[in-house]
Amino acid sequence: MAELSERKQKMEYSEQKEILQKITGISCSTLELREILDTITHVLADSLDKDLCSICLLKPEKKVICIEAAKGVSKQSVVVFCIKDDNGTIDSMFKEMKPVVIEDIRKFPQLQALLNSETSGMVSMLAVPIVQDSKVSGLLMLQTRDTHIYSEDEINLLTTEYR
């Protein structure tokens, strides 16, 4: 029994390593930034079997967060969608610079109101802050249409800090 668990853990580690290798290869490519971000969202959504993956960058001077790349919504939404955070919902979510897991977005109307109408069918969300120089500069978000409890492995895989 312990041997089976150990094999499963090794396989999961191998899958995580493969995902990180793909992302590293994409990041080091000669693609334009938007293409790099778009490709990363597709790799993550497909590899982790999520309905939506998006990368958003904060524009603190304008109090907005803009979707820069996404898999699971139309290209048109990505180009034009920015979230105005007048009430500080997003800012308060990431004060501690830690991932936020929400099993049912429908229980958070203030957050649901901020999200793109194309994502209204999503139920569960993992939002991981992209931290640079000890400041949140963006978010990596995964969402599912069904209730999903995000594992520690999923959270740890997506948690990075650049200094």
Task: CATH number of the domain at 9, please.
Answer: 3.30.450.40
- Number of domains forming the structure of the chain: 1
Per-residue pLDDT of the chain (163 residues; tens, 9 = 90+): 455 455 445 547 778 888 888 888 888 888 888 888 889 999 999 999 999 898 888 876 767 777 788 887 766 555 556 767 666 666 677 777 888 888 888 887 766 666 655 566 788 989 888 888 888 888 888 999 999 988 888 888 888 544 4
d(CA 83, CA 75): 16
Tracing tokens 């290869």 back to the chain, one arrives at 25
Residue 157 is predicted with a pLDDT of: 86
d(CA 16, CA 81): 30
In which element (H, E) is residue 83 found? strand 82-84
Structure tokens at 83: 């979230």
**What phi, psi does 78 have (nearest 5°)?**
-65, -40
Structural domain boundaries enclosing 129: 2-162
